[in-house]
Amino acid sequence: MTLPTIAFCILAMPPFATDGVYRAFERWGQYEAFTVQERCDGEPETVLVEWAPVQGAAVGLAYGRLYGYVQNRIVLDSTYGGWTADVLMQVTMHELGHIVLGYVHSRDRRSLMYFSGGRRTLWLWWDDMERLRLRWGRVRPIPPALVTLGEP
């Protein structure tokens, strides 16, 4: 089976933020969810990742073609004071789950797709991997070693 290629374009952001975003795309690739290509060509399927203020409580938002938007876009809140490369990676992975794979939030606090921050993981949990298996028919079995970022 051929995996889909996801194109992405990182708009102007600080170097530590760019590192976290790159790592998020690479991590999804480790699970063979999709292959990635950095490309800033303006195509609507390209995922634009931008650094800008976000209204409300969220630190990351996803706007995707799956949800009726014209462009796939992830907005990371430039005003949030708790960013590290790991937190950026986790939030970007979570938002990619929404706009690229069509995932909804999980009720399992260990899941990458859990709806809220607090205990965050940099690995897919079992329910995340089951979603990949159901979507693509297989998933590379990387153990979901939890890395806790913040309080559980």
pLDDT of 145 reads: 40
Phi, then psi, of 4 in degrees rounded to 5: -70, 150
Instruction: For 26-79, write each residue's pLDDT tens digit.
Output: 888 777 667 888 999 888 778 899 999 988 778 888 887 767 777 888 999 999
Instruction: For 85-137, write each residue's pLDDT tens digit.
Output: 888 888 998 888 888 777 888 888 888 888 876 556 677 777 777 777 776 66
150 pLDDT more than 60: no
Phi, then psi, of 27 in degrees rounded to 5: -65, -45
Structure tokens at 28: 């999804």
CATH of the domain at 124: 3.40.390.10
Count of domains forming the chain: 1
148 pLDDT more than 50: no
145 occurs within a structural domain: no
74 occurs within a structural domain: yes
Distance CA 64, CA 62 (A): 6
Record the pTM. 0.81
